[in-house]
Structure 1
Amino acid sequence: MDFNAEDASIFESALSDDSSRPKVYIETYGCQMNVNDSEVVASILIANGYAITSNINEADVILINTCSIRENAETRVFGRIDLFGQVKKSKPSVLVGVLGCMAERLKDQLLEEKKVVDLVVGPDAYRELPVLLRAAEDGQKGINVLLSREETYADISPVRLDKNGVSAFVSIMRGCNNMCSYCVVPYTRGAERSRDPHTIVREVQELVDAGYREVTLLGQNVNSYHWEEQKGLVKQKISFSDLLEMVALVDPRLRVRFSTSHPKDLTNEVLYTMAMYENICNHIHLPVQSGSTRILQLMNRKYTREDYLDRIKAIRSIIPDCSISTDIIAGFCTETEVDHDMTLSIMREVGFDFAYMFKYSERPNTKAARQLKDDVPEEVKTRRLMEIIELQGKLSEQSKKNDVGKRFEVLIEGESKKSKDEFFGRTSQNKVVVFPKENHKIGEFVFVEVTDCTPATLIGHIVEE
């Protein structure tokens, strides 16, 4: 299923008020991978005669793309499914489908307890959606949660649903082999498999031709991207650093980002490639999870505190102005106050620019759930998380204060929520800047001098290069 410029009119029609097509409403929860998956789903459905709508009240099909990483994400989704049940009461013909990781993990519960659900489709079965929808129309429960060792959706050009026309996600791989003890991803998304690099470059070129100015390459662990192909008598191996270079060369004015990196696989080769190409953004998201080697071992992260700090040292040396963000889990199994203090100390030592911070939430059937006791009291988890959040708030504020007086190239992404007279955009370091519009437009690159900051945002004005 490959799409080209000739399909543009079909897609435009399918994204607008085309009364001849059944309308599909898609709601997405979770990570950037889920956003990209929803765009793949939209592409498949449009090619099979459906239209996409942003109005749930006019939908013939309601799809919710789900995440199982944390318990609160699943709780939110169950709440939304109950709401969809109310929609279905007023319009009984509406079909409700659950897609993604929750579909994979909770298929029986969803079908047995949530009578409103008509179909349950896992991350590797989206090509079957048109068939499953037809079965659901005939009163059957549509279900396909089989995981695949080959599926990458490489031949499908995703339909961009955000409509900003500036930045887009491009999936370069699916699944994960890391088997972190707390994580459900290997069970819900299957084994790791990389996508043909030539289809990635083709998709990026399509985005450039459509006017996009930034792409983010996505994978559960982008650093482990690996592709082999036969070139005559020679077997050519393409690593993530090779792919990064291939994408950077598509267009020198196209910004390139990527997420997520795993500390055990972040090589100097990747860092040197980032340093070599100006259009590869100077930001790395490098989850640390804990500052304690003992806890990291229990998490099966496959690196020590010292290993992580070695990677930070390499980043600072090779890309001095690179920003670093992270993920942190508070209150993992057996975590002591000493372990917690080590997390706080590594935060201070690295000086993270921003972070995603969570309490440990035991996920059923993971190695941690099977073999470790979730023995840190809830009130202790909460207190430790608050201490982590408080410290990161200070680090983030200091990071932004360090930028006051500097000039950055900024990609204008949209209008500020607080003022119609201002735009917002991001620096190469992934920091948000707000500034007066003047005579510029969304999608343009401008140079902005930072004059002030809040704890969350840089404030500045446009200057000549």
Structure 2
Amino acid sequence: GRWRELKEKRKDLIVAVGGCVAQQEGEELLRRAPYLDLVFGTHNIGRLDHLVSEVALERKRPVALGFYNDPSYMEDAGGPTRISGPKAFVTIMQGCDKVCSFCVVPYVRGREISRPSEKIIAEIDALVRQRVKEVMLLGQNVNSYGKTAPGELSFAELLRRVNEIEGLERIRFTTSHPEDLSPDLIEAYATLERLCEHLHLPVQSGSDDVLRRMRRGYSRGEYLGRIERLRDRCPRIALSTDVIVGFPGETEGEFEATLEILRQVEYDEIFAFSFSPRPQTVAAKLYRDDVPSEVKRRRLELVLELQQEISLKKNREKIGCQEEILVEGPSKLGQDRIMGRTRSNRIVNVMGSETLTGEMVGVRITGASANSLVGALLKEEYREVA
């Protein structure tokens, strides 16, 4: 309603919708919203100036939803780098070839395309010169970086190149697919000093039967084997994951298998969701959404309650330990507090001055909740609040 009112007041205003929703809905958006001028999908932000010209000069209402599977598309398709204080988010690839039965990403993001490694390295090098201390490498499945680009670096090789950039303090990445957690990538955690000891590795379910219906491409045993090898090479690794409850046909026994894998792995953090069918996906076409909503809600509550216990236990084990944090800015707790993250991605709130933003500082952990830690700065001069 607000955009329609603005359009009525300003006839020259161009109203556009872009991204995943636009890719999925397409012309239907124009039909539902007559005041809308332009719809562009996930591969078309680079054409935005041309599309706006079509609206302004030719009075058209373009719908641009094409996918560009040519690797040259990613030459300059990283998009504007997002910088958040001392951290930057750098796109290294786009799309996904896995086609999990529940996931809409391949339909709205297209096939996997990797950015040239030289472009990525140059961008990160420039960011470091702007005093960025930490980079997060982004993609729908970063582990498969380079696989569709002949002669390109593998993801582990790219990490090694990024690790060599002088002045960079920390490297993180997301998201990963367990099937592509290669021995080389596991070894990178043991050998690259700037690669943070944290990995987000979505398991989705602890049941082999559910994993098959999800078309995940691995079994429970294979997933756990990769976790075991990872922890063997990097004992300090912190793990987070995604979990879906109430997938079509999920029995109580299959759900219990998910609870059991949470107990076995003891993730530091999880992101849990109730299943809901997504248009175009295999699950929406083949399976009936037959788990009642109240059952989904109960299962989600059980998952979250269990994880709260695990997270609290693991965080309390940190009390008394010394950690290094990268200060990101003021804490949500207020009261002259600042916050930062450890290498294992734990949030730590400490008394201190905002002038420390962007600094690597040592802290001693003094308290813990399920979601964050409390600490004290180790250096006396850092404790003075400006």
TM bucket normalised to smaller: over 0.9
- Is residue 2:5 matched to residue 1:86? yes
List gaps (5 residues or longer) in structure 2: 381-386
1:421 is aligned to: 336
1:451 is aligned to: 366
Q: Which runs of 4+ in 1 moved over 4 A?
A: none
Whichever residue aligns with residue 107 of structure 1, its letter is G
The aligned length equals 378
Select between 245-254 and 169-178 the one with higher mean Cα deviation. 245-254
- The match for 1:226 among 127, 146, 149 is 146
1:104 is aligned to: 23
Contact 1:228 1:236 in 2 (8 A): no
Contact 1:359 1:385 in 2 (8 A): yes
Q: 1:436 offset after TM fit, Å?
A: 1.3
Deviations 1:371-400, CA, capped at 9 Å, x for gaps: 111111111111111111111111111121
**Superposition pairs of residues 76-225 of structure 1, within 5 angstroms:** 82-138=1-57, 139-150=59-70, 152-155=73-76, 158-160=79-81, 164-225=84-145
The change in CA–CA distance for 1:227 and 1:207 in structure 2 (over 3 A counts) is: farther
1:313 is aligned to: 228
Secondary structure of the 1:429 match is coil
The change in CA–CA distance for 1:228 and 1:125 in structure 2 (over 3 A counts) is: closer
Could you tell me how far apart the structure 2 residues matched to 1:258 and 1:121 are?
Answer: 27
Could you tell me how far apart the structure 2 residues matched to 1:146 and 1:324 are?
Answer: 36
1:388 is aligned to: 303
Contact 2:74 2:114 in 1 (8 A): no
Contact 2:77 2:115 in 1 (8 A): no
Q: 1:160 offset after TM fit, Å?
A: 4.4
Could you tell me how far apart the structure 2 residues matched to 1:379 and 1:157 are?
Answer: 42
List gaps (5 residues or longer) in structure 1: 1-81, 230-234
Normalising by structure 2, we get a TM-score of 0.93
Secondary structure of the 2:325 match is strand
Could you tell me how far apart the structure 1 residues matched to 2:207 and 2:345 are?
Answer: 27
Deviations 1:168-225, CA, capped at 9 Å, x for gaps: 1111111110010011111111111211111110111011111111111111111111
Could you tell me how far apart the structure 1 residues matched to 2:355 and 2:103 are?
Answer: 44
Secondary structure of the 1:203 match is helix
Q: 1:157 offset after TM fit, Å?
A: 6.7
- Percent pairwise identity: 38
The change in CA–CA distance for 1:90 and 1:318 in structure 2 (over 3 A counts) is: same
The change in CA–CA distance for 1:237 and 1:87 in structure 2 (over 3 A counts) is: closer
Select between 107-116 and 136-145 the one with higher mean Cα deviation. 136-145
Q: 1:142 offset after TM fit, Å?
A: 2.3
Q: 1:418 offset after TM fit, Å?
A: 2.2
Contact 2:86 2:328 in 1 (8 A): yes
The change in CA–CA distance for 1:176 and 1:246 in structure 2 (over 3 A counts) is: same
Tell me how large the CA RMSD over aligned residues is: 1.9
1:371 is aligned to: 286
Secondary structure of the 2:180 match is coil
Deviations 1:200-258, CA, capped at 9 Å, x for gaps: 101110111111111111111111112688xxxxx855211000111111125431001
